[in-house]
A and B are shown apart, each in its own frame.
Chain A
Amino acid sequence: MGVGILVEDLNAWYGTTHTLQDINLHIPANHATALIGPSGCGKSTFVRCLNRMHETNPIARATGTVKMGDVDIYSDASPVEIRRRVGMVFQRPNPFPTMSIYDNVVSGLKLNGFRNRRILDETVERSLKQAALWEEVKDDLKKKSGASLSGGQQQRMCIARALAVDPEVLLMDEPASALDPVSTSKIEDLIFQLKSQYTIVIVTHNMQQAARVAENTGFFLNGKMVEFDSTHKIFTNPRDKRTEDYITGRFG
């Protein structure tokens, strides 16, 4: 089951660049939340702060609190623990090229020392079915490399890989921006189905995509969150002039 996320006074820096400024936000459990905004507005940095991937860059730092349920992810847990609870799907599919499809999907388990064959088998099947990829790859699981799949299939495999560790939250950083329209619609269908079980945060450049999949939408601009509301409200009757300008295509 998903868990809600409460963000308070989150600030983030890359070197001396203040990329996120005083973000306050409540992301509800078991809903999809979209983050939109022009390139460089900080929305990717924001999601990377939610699983502490931000700090893997040596010049990056962040302050503030992020609570997942009751857990303050910056003071109550290690980055490794947090990343097991918060799955992430990246902009470009990033399969492990030396691993089979099977090993890719259960890599999160295997690389953390989990070896029970029966449970691994079950996890592969469950995750690939959740990611709507099972029928396409079930005969090649151990024969083919994860890198041999098409781009859209690779991305669904990466989603299966993230789901295999049983996260509570799924972060998706422009998961369909490198894919063709058919693959994109498959990913969107997937988000629609998955959000009943997981809390999903999706960064997107595509406003129609946000409108299609997310209950709530946040608009980021220059490191600040300008507006956060129900998706319907953001796209039909935004409070802020800048949000209106952006969604009507006047800039960005």
Chain B
Amino acid sequence: MMRTAINYLVSGLCILATVLVILPLIAILFYLIYKGASSLNFAFFTRIPAPVGESGGGMANSIVGSGIILFLASLMGIPIGIAAGVYLAEFGRGKALATAVRFTADVLNGVPSIVMGIAIYSLIVMQQKHFSALAGGVALAIMMVPTITRTTEEMLATVPHAIREAALGLGVPKWRTAISVSLRTASPGIITGCMLAFARVAGETAPLLFTAFGNQFWSFKLSEPIAALPLQIYVYAISPYDEWHRLAWAGSLVLIVLIMVSVTLVRIFANRGALKGGS
């Protein structure tokens, strides 16, 4: 009797906690749809922002700009993050360098994003003497690295030692075992880590303020200031105009939907080659 009651109680608490976690997410999504969906039209996705005083315009350049910055960030952050994670899990056991890398990653993870923006401002923007898409990409890439590194390390730690031994026992060199066996076995978890890091930096505004800077016009050059959705949302949200406020809501909705779509696409793509009965 007692055990059944406790079972129900604990299950109930778990369900309650789950609902509490999901509720804000759903609430935010619905509020964004309520506030932003009405401002979404064809122009929003095809036009650049209208000058002050004119109505209409869109965020096409910001959507593309965010895409470019995030592509750059992923291109730099994901390989470096995964490589560092592989080093920590496969080669660095008990080494001083590994402890240092792990510590640095954890500290880096806690650095406020505005500080990252200022750091990249002095390292890249000051040297080049102008804001650039590249600087924005680097800032976001550095923010992605610690999450990816630590997830990769943890996921590799869950790969059974027996599988590595199987490869080593076949005369496969250690580096090849790490890449083709351990990393491949852990890849679903590592992909999740990369997606988490991607989704996190996709919405970052602060690191882009001093790096990508934003741009009211089209720009595809990596060496020039570029627009980004979070920046445009920020500019519109603090403006005094009602129409711009509505566009900021619409931009937020688009940002969230784009993040969800890209994460889902990667998942589908990653699961495509899965075999029957595999793990």
Contacts and interface: CB of A to CB of B under 8 A. Distances in A.
Interface in B129-180: 160, 162-163, 165-173, 176-177, 180
Interface stretch (B50-58, B120-128, B271-279): B271-279
B184 interface: yes
Contacts of A80: 171-173
B165 A94 contact: yes
Contacts of A108: 170-172
B278 A84 contact: no
A39 interface: no
B240 interface: no
**Residue from the set B162, B171, B176 with the largest chain A CB neighbour count within 10 Å:** B171
B267 to A, nearest CB: 16
Contacts of B162: 90, 92, 94
A87 B279 CA distance: 26
Interface stretch (A27-35, A158-166, A188-196, A207-215): A158-166
B278 A98 contact: yes
B277 A111 contact: no
A7 to B, nearest CB: 19
Nearest to A91: B162
B110 interface: no
B165 A56 contact: yes
A124 B173 CA distance: 22
B170 A161 contact: yes
Contact of B276 (A84, A90, A92, A145): A145
Nearest to B186: A98
Contacts of A56: 165, 168
A224 interface: no
B166 A90 contact: yes
A85 B169 CA distance: 10
B219 interface: no
Contact of B163 (A84, A88, A97, A112): A97
Contact of B169 (A87, A100, A112, A147): A87
Contacts of A94: 160, 162-163, 165-166
A148 interface: yes
Given A58-B94, A83-B171, A108-B171, A144 B275 contact: yes
A60 interface: no
Contacts of A145: 275-279
Interface string A132-165: 0000000010011101110000000010011001
27 contacts: A53-B168, A56-B165, A80-B173, A83-B170, A87-B169, A94-B160, A94-B165, A94-B166, A96-B167, A98-B185, A98-B278, A99-B275, A107-B167, A107-B170, A107-B172, A108-B170, A111-B177, A112-B171, A112-B176, A140-B276, A143-B276, A144-B277, A145-B277, A147-B277, A147-B279, A148-B276, A162-B169
